[in-house]
Structure 1
Amino acid sequence: MTDNVALAPQPTTAGGAYRWRWPAFVVVLLASIMNLLDTLVTNIAAPSIRAELGGGPALIQWLGAGYTLALAAGLITGGRLGDLYGRRPVFLVGAAGFTLTSLLCAVATSPGMLIGARVAQGLFGAVMLPQGLGVIRSVFPPRELGAAFGVFGPAMGLASVAGPVLAGGLISADLWGTGWRMIFLINLPIGLFAVVAGARFLPAGRESTARRLDLPGAVLAAVAALLLVYPVVQGRELDWPAWVFLLIALALILFVVFARFEAGVQRRGGDPLIVPTLFGNRAFTGGLATGLAIFTSMVGFALVFAVFLQAGLGFSPLKAGLTVLPQALGSLVGFAATAVGLTQRLGRRSLQLGTALMICGVLGVFLVLRVEGADVSPWHFAPVLLIYGAGLGLFLSPFFDIVLAGVRPAEYGSASGTLNAMQQLGGAVGAAVLGTLFFGLLGGQVAQAADADASALRSRLAAIGVPAPEQQRIVDGLRACGRESADTTDPDAVPTACRRLGEEVSGASGATSDGAAVAAAVDEAGRDATHGGFAAALRGTIWAAVGLLATAFALTFLLPPYARRHRPGGAGDGPAGRETGSAS
């Protein structure tokens, strides 16, 4: 159609390249880093947020899942909006909205307000992000595109390293009394710069022949994703009523309806969000399943590990951020392997090696917890997290290229957007499923840890002079208090069992000559039970993470052996190969 002719950036240099391509690149890079940080920092901030705003364990899960679910639901639609209306205006709307919703997150006064702001932040991120890579591809000539992505990848890697440490440092510094709120306030200057500089340097015009937005398809996909994640997160706190399982079943039905609807849109000559023929491609569907398993495991493990470090071991946010730093450094090692050609030579085997290293790293965390117990320190985790991170880098570097090698060039745009949406959906499902498993195990494991230390506590109380009947009441009270504290939905409220335990300890202290020793013995036993219970809950959750990683390992055999541009014998030298191989 004549009104959809591409309006490419005007060549304004002697070489025909867009004059402001590097300033435009900086704008896109900063926006991408801002989004990346907001997917990472809430894991570190979640315990501090819950301590101030209240809310149950579901709040911790929704801080990440709400953002990534909204991002997943909106990514493909956001990319299509850029096709329809031009990348610059859509980017500016997304960046401005992201900045405003970051401010709303920072001033939130209740769990509901914060979760709502996070969801809105994810939706504006879905509008902003797809425009960035499209801008980079349009403003750089082919000879410079490799250099641009060569800067983009390491910069994002460094941001992933700095993110948790930055979050922990900002929270611990408590600048101007802001505490955790500063992790959102820091977006304000970055976002404002992105809006102002984007209006000045991003190219105008459209580069697509897309005619209309598949709004019904977008709504179907978003509702299906929400109906899948919501009952998993909330079900445990509601004691798993029947309607929870009905919602999950309805979500699966809606995904089928969505697929049929998209096929109908294509038959009628429309522009479907997802090209239906992709789902008949074994390599692509295998890639979707592999990615879903990997990202579910990765994000879920990151969430519960961060909660364990702070709520279980009592680490400060900064110490927790520094504890996971080796994982980020390991990821850089894995990404560096791409730069020296390792993953290009290995192809699909790089995914398998990376997954195997991730399994070794997660099992290494399990062994550290079993061997070190309550005396564990960040140094104990460093070697195994380094291995885990290296595996993650080896997997992520070639993953998208290898999966996209199995699709036709005409399907490339839809396939790329679907893969990115799947990545975010996997993150939301990971926070929901592994978070629910962890918190579901926690109360019982704390109670079991208290039982395991009961004889030692009785011995200490007997040595102080506490009578046997009161010893037993204190032991029983400690067990009940630990369980109720682990399961509470209001961290500011003192559980009934804990109040009764306090009364028992006060009574026992008054009946002995050393009341302070009684309180100290009970406090120490309580800390040991908390450490032991959190460690046991994490160990149980690790098996689920390992199962997901093992599933991903098996699914990699469905993928093409190599990315198209790296196939031996120059198989990627044709036009299709160049187009598919350029994604990363």
Structure 2
Amino acid sequence: MVILLTGAFLPPLDFFIVNVALPSIREDFQATASTMQLIISGYATTYAVMLITGGRLGDLYGRRNVFLAGMVAFAAASALCGFAWSPAALVVGRVLQGFAAAIMAPQALASINAIFPDHEKSRALSFYALTFGVASMAGLFLGGALIALNILDLGWRAVFLINLPVIAIAAPSAMMVLRETRSEHASKLDVGGAVLIALALFALISPLIEGREQGWPIWSLLMLAGCLPLLFLFWHHEQKVEAAGRDPILAPRLVRTPGLKRGLLAAFFFYAFAAFWLTFSVYQQGGLGRTPFEAGLAILPAAVGFVLGPFASGYIFHVFGRYSTAAGMSLEAAGLFGTAALVSFGAPEFLYVALFFVGAGQGIALPNLVRTVVQRVDTAQSGLASGLVNSMLQIGGALATALIGGLFFSVLGSSTDVISIGHAYSIAAVAIAFCLLIAGWLSAGLGAKKEALR
């Protein structure tokens, strides 16, 4: 379990930890703002685009084998980032990191679903969700700490090189401990489907991440317009592959699994929460004048709630049953409404209570949501289901950051005072809360156990 959770921990950690290091990287390389954006978006885009294909690779070629390959590739890419001699080399390293993360991460969730017996699976998925959230929050603290400590005079390079000793222990352990699992009817990879879905997701996610930063240039709008035709071509191709008796990368019959589409759509709306990190950070640093490390400390109540939330999942399930996911999302939304009210009425010193509810709600909702989606499909398709749910989370997060982040900055305008920033944050927090309520409505009544195909 620890080895699998290491593979789940590193990808989100390496997304958030770099945000703290960006000022140091910019000063060291004298890099442009567009290069700084590429350091973030190169990783995020590649990771989101390749998750579905990465999950399917584990089903076909063995989840342990693919997990190890992804982990070794992630270490190599981290080394390239840590020893980068130019901004271009760092951007290439980040893209390769995203690719490796997309190969490694789905195998963790898929292996948990395939290896652990039913009576242990609920607790295992709770630990998985806990790791996912803690990695996001730990990035803010660990990045600042590593740069402040300046170990061996490495500066910002330590945020990448810290991955090497971790993987040096985890990879050999995985070879000795992990049991190999794969689809019983494994066939060749549907290369055409893999290329089409990657192109479609790239056309969707890249402009969402880059477009807002660059003022929505024409290329971003053209890519968004081209996304739907690419998705149509992908779906038509998958139907042809399935009709021919071959194994598509995303079987149309899988999508017809009862409740799966609702669960995936719930995951899409649920991760609108990703916009919270942007807006709350701007409020803390731009409005209240806190340092990045102090802003990280400010979210500690949410971190505590997130840690405790999964351990309350059993009690929540006993009380709410199939509505447990919706209950967690409702609690999270209530916490966000609370932060909006406290900031609007000028009482930020009481934010810790509302932030605790935000974290606890997410800690309850995420493991239940993941379980709802992954356990609806056969174990043979666990890798694909893992890639699907992670991909929907990433797409939802990218879209929410673009749209709700755009709303935040539109409301803020050119103002820089704490009242204006607080007002913009409150509106963004309410928008995120409504997305969570939609996710809760979609997930309401969905059981955790898989149902038979229609």
TM-score bracket, normalised by the shorter chain, equals: 0.7 to 0.9
Distance 1:57 1:542, change over 3 A: farther
Aligned with 1:445 (options 414, 419, 428): 414
* Aligned counterpart in structure 2 of residue 425 of structure 1, from 395, 401, 405: 395
1:268 partner letter: A
Residue in 2 aligned with 1:220?
196
Q: TM-score, normalised by structure 1?
A: 0.68
Q: 2:428 and 2:357 mapped to 1: Cα distance?
A: 19
Aligned residue pair count: 453
Q: Whole-Å Cα distance in 2 between the matches of residues 66 and 542 of structure 1?
A: 30
Q: 2:75 is matched with which residue: 99, 105, 109?
A: 99
Question: Do residues 309 (structure 1) and 295 (structure 2) align?
Answer: no
User: What's the CA shift string for 1:77-120, capped at 9, x where partnerless?
Assistant: 22332333333332222111101211222344655543432222
The answer on 1:323 being equivalent to 2:298 is yes
For structure 1, which segment, 247-256 or 106-115, has the greater mean C-alpha deviation from structure 2 after superposition? Answer: 106-115
Which of 260, 263, 266 does residue 242 from structure 2 map onto?
A: 266
Determine which structure has more spread, i.e. the larger CA radius of gyration.
1
Q: Sort the Cα spacing of 1:257 and 1:542 in 2 relative to 1 into closer, same or farther, 3 A.
A: farther
- Are residues 283 and 120 of structure 1, via their aligned partners in 2, closer, same or farther at CA, if it must alter by over 3 Å? same
Deviations 1:497-542 (A, max 9, x none): xxxxxxxxxxxxxxxxxxxxxxxxxxxxxxxxx443xx63564355
Q: What secondary structure, in the 3-state scheme, does the structure 2 residue paired with 1:252 have? A: helix
Aligned to 2:325: 351
**Aligned equivalents of 2:149 and 2:421: distance in 1?**
30
Q: Take 2:288 and 2:261, find their aligned partners in 1: how far apart are those partners?
A: 41
1:536 lines up with 2:399 in the alignment: no
Code of the aligned partner of 1:305:
F
> Cα gap change, 1:540/1:312 in structure 2, threshold over 3 Å: closer, same or farther?
closer
Tell me by how many angstroms 1:302 deviates: 1.0
Aligned partner of 1:399: which letter?
L
How many Å apart are 1:67 and its aligned residue? 2.7
| Percent of pairs with identical residues | 36
Residue deviations 1:151-177 (CA, integer Å, cap 9, x gap): 656566655554432223223333344
The 1-side partners of 2:403 and 2:30 are apart by: 22
1:395-432: CA deviation from partner (whole Å, max 9, x where unpaired): 21311233456667886664443122212222333344
Give the residue type in structure 1 aligned to 2:335.
G
C-alpha distance in 2, partners of 1:204/1:402? Answer: 24
Residue type matched to 2:356 in 1? L
Q: 2:431 matched to which residue of 1?
A: 547
Pairwise CA distance, 1:58: 6.0
Deviation at 1:263, TM superposition (A): 1.6
Q: Which runs of 5+ in 1 are unaligned?
A: 1-24, 447-529, 566-575
User: What TM-score, normalized by structure 2, do the two folds share?
Assistant: 0.85
Q: 1:371 to 1:53 in 2, by over 3 A?
A: farther
Aligned amino acid, residue 309 of structure 1: Q
Pairing of 1:568-579 with structure 2 (within 5 A): none
Alignment partner, residue 513 of structure 1: none
Q: CA deviation at 1:249?
A: 0.8
Structure 1 contact 164–325 (Cα < 8 Å) conserved: no
The amino acid of 1:546's aligned partner reads V
What displacement does 1:360 show?
2.9
Distance in 1 between residues matched to 2:181 and 2:386, nearest whole Å: 22
Q: Secondary structure at the match of 2:346?
A: helix
Match of 1:334 in 2: 309
C-alpha separation between the residues in 2 aligned to 1:100 and 1:412?
27
- The partner residue of 1:561 within 438, 442, 445 is 445
Aligned match of 2:4: 28
Shift of 1:222: 1.7
Q: Residues 106 and 304 (structure 1 numbering): CA distance in 2 closer, same or farther, change over 3 Å?
A: farther
Taking structure 1 as reference, are residues 307 and 96 closer, same or farther at Cα in structure 2, changes over 3 Å only?
farther
Match of 2:142 among 141, 166, 185: 166
CA contact (8 A) 1:67 1:121 kept: yes
Residues 47-81 of structure 1, C-alpha deviations (whole Å, 9 max, x = no match):
55455556676666655544333222222322332
Alignment check: 8 A CA contact 2:404 2:432 kept:
no
CA gap 1:440/1:123 in 2 versus in 1, 3 angstroms: farther
* Helix, strand or coil at the partner of 1:265: helix
For the residue of structure 1 that corresponds to 2:414, the secondary structure is helix
Match of 1:369 among 338, 343, 348: 343
Would the alpha carbon gap of residues 182 and 404 (structure 1) be closer, same or farther in structure 2, given more than 3 Å must change?
Answer: closer
- Name the CA distance, whole Å, in 2 between partners of 1:358 and 1:57: 34
Contact 2:283 2:422 (8 Å CA) reproduced = yes
Structure 1 residues 15-54: aligned runs within 5 Å? 25-50=1-26, 52-53=28-29
Contact 1:71 1:123 (C-alpha < 8 Å) held by counterparts: yes
Counterpart residue type for residue 323 of structure 1 = A
Higher relative contact order (CA 8 A, sep 6+): 2
Question: Aligned partners of 2:260 and 2:81: how far apart in 1?
Answer: 37
Does residue 388 (structure 1) correspond to residue 364 (structure 2)? The answer is no
Separation of aligned partners in 1, 2:193 and 2:292: 41
Question: In 1, distance between residues paired with 2:35 and 2:422?
Answer: 18
**1:289 correspondence with 2:259:** no
**1:225 Cα deviation from its structure 2 partner:** 1.8
Distance 1:139-1:559 versus aligned 2 partners, 3 A rule: closer
> Residue 156 of structure 2 is aligned with which of 166, 175, 180?
180
In 2, the alpha carbon distance for the partners of 1:151 and 1:554 equals 25
Moved more, 139-148 or 86-95: 139-148
Indicate the residue corresponding to 1:118 in structure 2. 94
* Structure 1 counterpart SS, 2:393: helix
Any idea what SS the aligned residue of 2:259 has? helix
Q: 1: CA distance between counterparts of 2:448 and 2:214? A: 49
**Amino acid corresponding to residue 168 of structure 2 in structure 1:** L
